[in-house]
């Protein structure tokens, strides 16, 4: 059974530097052109495109195979795409100038390439050379650092509609030689293009990393820039068993807090619809958002129910940021902010919902148990505590995001970590909660829900 008239496989395999592959020969641009052309000709319900790994004709990519006929095209460039789509998918004819018409020769080429590749792998293994993926992981920090430095310097805004390296250095007041090197590396990574010595942002980069762009993500990305500094101390933290650069929130620079809350707000914008849908607002008249940050979740819950009023508790330095978002959402009449210390303060009483999002990972187990007890006291009968966090499986090696996040807490907090479902369940039960449940959400975080009897 064929749900589509044509099923098109396009190779987008990336291989190590210097090894021929479709990715190095521009498959991403061909795939984009195919998708655009198919949409423009309203063929989306007839032609399905699937990106795939190597088809074995790596020196002549980008390669495309069309089923049900099993027609193999090679060296398909973006400029060929309109003709290919029209000829094959609209007229039902093979595009002769790109097709591999000799099946036996094609098969021999694929087999020959496979034998060469296996021989190269065996030789590498015999010589004791690191496998490519391991070597790539060891060096991955380089590309990360290049991008973070570009955001830190605001390179992409400086490039604007296109500038040379010298011009960018002039705008940024940086060294021209070093700036050119940075821009060349960014171009090699595919985040910029360079033509006649002039650099241009790709549409993706312009969308997220330039001033005034609708999805400007620079402020939130600055949080990752700050995390880099902490992660550089990981070795010392593993020796010491705690963060070696820990700063109380009050000691942090204002730009640190702004970037941190911007990053939380960006994450929350994506997560909040899932959370509100999973938790629901039925029977919730009063909600407490413990360590509510930007207010993104209070706002999402308040928007979901006109009957809901929320109190947001956070540190004094964060409340003006939350206020800004609450005012923007026109919810000042239903969301109140309150300065307090979630580690020690009584949290109030009579709430139907206490929401604790991205808080438990910064506390140690005893502090978490103590927080759960105070949350219990703050709830009305039948009220619910909802915790959102990166929840580990019992053996703590999965999900990978949560296991790595535990180290993010090691380098940044005194005794925080990611915790497992059994750990949360034990704290909640000891605090008096009944019906403890784990709700899995799409994405890296999940919910632990407990009900006060
Ligand atoms: C990781 S953010 C989570 C923000 C928000 N709940 C969310 O999920 O987007 C942690 C929040 O806890 C706040 N916080 C940290 N220590 C606190 C304390 N001792 N008392 C109150 N709030 C605190 C921070 O200011 C920050 O807003
Ligand atoms: S990398 Fe595309 S065919 Fe091998």
- Give dist(CA 99, CA 451) in Å, integer: 64
- What pLDDT is attached to residue 18? 86
| pLDDT higher than 90, residue 231 | yes
- Give dist(CA 106, CA 194) in Å, integer: 36
Tell me the ligand closest to 106's alpha carbon.
Answer: 2
Q: What is the mean pLDDT of residues 389-407?
A: 97
- Mean pLDDT of all residues belonging to the chain: 96
Tell me the ligand closest to 319's alpha carbon.
Answer: 1
DSSP string, 201-257: E-HHHHHHHSTT-TT--HHHHHHHHHHHHHHTTHHHHHHHTS-SS---GGGS-HHHH
Lowest mean per-residue pLDDT among 211-215, 221-225, 266-270, 325-329:
266-270
In contact, 176 and 165? CB cutoff 8 Å: yes
Measured in angstroms, how far is the CA atom of residue 166 from the centroid of ligand 1? Answer: 43
In contact, 415 and 364? CB cutoff 8 Å: yes
- What pLDDT is attached to residue 324? 97
| pLDDT higher than 90, residue 2 | no
For residue 251 the two structure tokens come to: 């000691």
- What pLDDT is attached to residue 251? 74
Backbone φ and ψ of 192, nearest 5°? -130, 160
For residue 316 the two structure tokens come to: 């004094």
| pLDDT higher than 90, residue 330 | yes
Sequence-distant (6+) residues with CB within 8 A of 397 are 403
**Angle separating helix axes 218-231 and 254-279, nearest 10 degrees:** 110
| pLDDT higher than 80, residue 209 | yes
pLDDT category at 248 given cuts 50, 70, 90 is: confident
Q: What is the mean pLDDT of residues 193-219?
A: 96
Tell me the ligand closest to 16's alpha carbon.
Answer: 2
Does residue 314's CB lie within 6 angstroms of at least one atom of ligand 1? yes
pLDDT category at 247 given cuts 50, 70, 90 is: confident
Q: What is the mean pLDDT of residues 214-242?
A: 96
Percentage, residues of the chain above pLDDT 90: 92
Does residue 359's CB lie within 6 angstroms of at least one atom of ligand 1? yes
Residue ranges lining ligand 2, Cβ < 6 Å: 11, 13, 21-22, 54-58, 61, 63
Q: What is the mean pLDDT of residues 394-401?
A: 97
pLDDT digits (tens, 9 = 90+) for 96-112: 999 999 999 999 999 99
| pLDDT higher than 90, residue 387 | yes
Domains of the chain: 6-125 (3.40.30.10), 140-216 (1.10.10.10), 255-451 (3.40.50.150)
Sequence-distant (6+) residues with CB within 8 A of 329 are 295, 299, 302, 303
pLDDT category at 256 given cuts 50, 70, 90 is: confident
- What pLDDT is attached to residue 237? 98
Angle value at C-alpha 310, between 388 and 307, nearest 5 degrees: 110
What residue's CA is closest to ligand 1, atom 19?
341
- What pLDDT is attached to residue 9? 98
Measured in angstroms, how far is the CA atom of residue 144 from the centroid of ligand 2? Answer: 26
Q: What is the mean pLDDT of residues 445-449?
A: 97
List, in sequence order, every beta strand (DSSP E) within 291-445.
Answer: 309-314, 335-339, 351-357, 379-389, 391-392, 419-420, 434-440
Q: What is the mean pLDDT of residues 4-32?
A: 94
Burial class (CB in 10 A: 0-12, 13-18, 19+), 35: middle
In contact, 385 and 416? CB cutoff 8 Å: no
pLDDT digits (tens, 9 = 90+) for 126-172: 999 999 889 999 999 999 999 999 999 999 999 999 999 999 999 99
pLDDT digits (tens, 9 = 90+) for 180-193: 999 999 999 999 99
- What pLDDT is attached to residue 323? 97
Q: Which of 9, 13, 51, 74 to mutate to test the pocket of ligand 2 (most atoms within 8 A of CB)?
A: 13
- Specify the residue for token string 């899932």: 274
Does residue 213's CB lie within 6 angstroms of at least one atom of ligand 1? no
- Give dist(CA 161, CA 176) in Å, integer: 19
3-state secondary structure of 372: helix
């Amino acid at each position: 059974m064929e749900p589509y008239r044509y099923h098109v496989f396009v190779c987008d395999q990336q291989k190590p530097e210097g090894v021929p592959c479709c990715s190095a020969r521009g498959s991403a641009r061909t795939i984009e052109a195919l998708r655009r052309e198919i949409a423009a000709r309203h063929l989306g319900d007839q032609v399905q495109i699937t990106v795939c790994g190597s088809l074995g004709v790596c020196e002549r990519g980008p390669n495309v195979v069309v089923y049900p006929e099993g027609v193999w095209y090679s060296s398909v460039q973006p400029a060929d795409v309109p003709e290919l789509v029209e000829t094959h998918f609209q007229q039902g004819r093979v595009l002769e100038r790109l097709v591999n018409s000799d099946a036996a020769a094609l098969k021999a080429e694929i087999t020959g390439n496979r034998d060469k590749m296996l021989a190269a792998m065996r030789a590498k293994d015999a010589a004791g050379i690191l496998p490519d993926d391991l070597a790539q992981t060891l060096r991955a920090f380089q590309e990360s650092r290049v991008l973070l430095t570009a955001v830190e310097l605001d390179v992409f805004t400086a490039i604007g509609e296109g500038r040379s390296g010298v011009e960018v250095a002039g705008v940024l007041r940086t060294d021209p030689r070093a700036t050119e090197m940075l821009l060349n590396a960014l171009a090699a990574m595919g985040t910029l293009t360079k033509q006649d010595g002039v650099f241009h942002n790709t549409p993706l980069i312009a969308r997220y990393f330039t001033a005034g762009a609708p999805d400007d993500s620079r402020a939130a990305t600055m949080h990752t820039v700050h995390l880099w500094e902490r992660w550089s101390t990981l070795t010392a933290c593993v020796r010491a068993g705690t963060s070696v650069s820990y700063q109380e929130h009050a000691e942090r620079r204002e730009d640190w807090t702004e970037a941190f809350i911007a990053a939380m707000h960006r994450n929350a914008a994506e997560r909040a619809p899932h959370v509100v849908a999973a938790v629901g607002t039925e029977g919730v008249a009063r909600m407490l958002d413990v360590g509510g940050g930007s207010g993104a979740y209070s706002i999402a819950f308040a928007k979901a129910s006109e009957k809901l009023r929320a109190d947001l508790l956070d540190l004094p330095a964060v409340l003006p940021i939350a206020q800004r978002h609450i005012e923007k959402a026109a919810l000042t009449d239903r969301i109140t902010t309150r300065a307090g210390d979630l580690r020690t303060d009584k949290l109030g009483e009579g709430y139907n919902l206490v929401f604790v999002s991205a808080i438990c990972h910064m506390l140690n187990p005893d502090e978490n148990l103590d927080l759960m007890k105070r949350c219990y006291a703050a709830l009305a009968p039948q009220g619910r505590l909802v915790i959102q966090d990166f929840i580990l499986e019992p053996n703590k090696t999965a999900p990978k995001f949560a296991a790595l996040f535990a180290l993010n807490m090691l380098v940044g907090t005194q005794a925080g970590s990611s915790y497992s479902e059994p750990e949360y369940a034990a704290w909640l039960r000891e605090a008096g909660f009944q019906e403890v449940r784990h709700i899995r959400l799409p994405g890296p975080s999940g919910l632990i829900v407990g009900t006060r009897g």
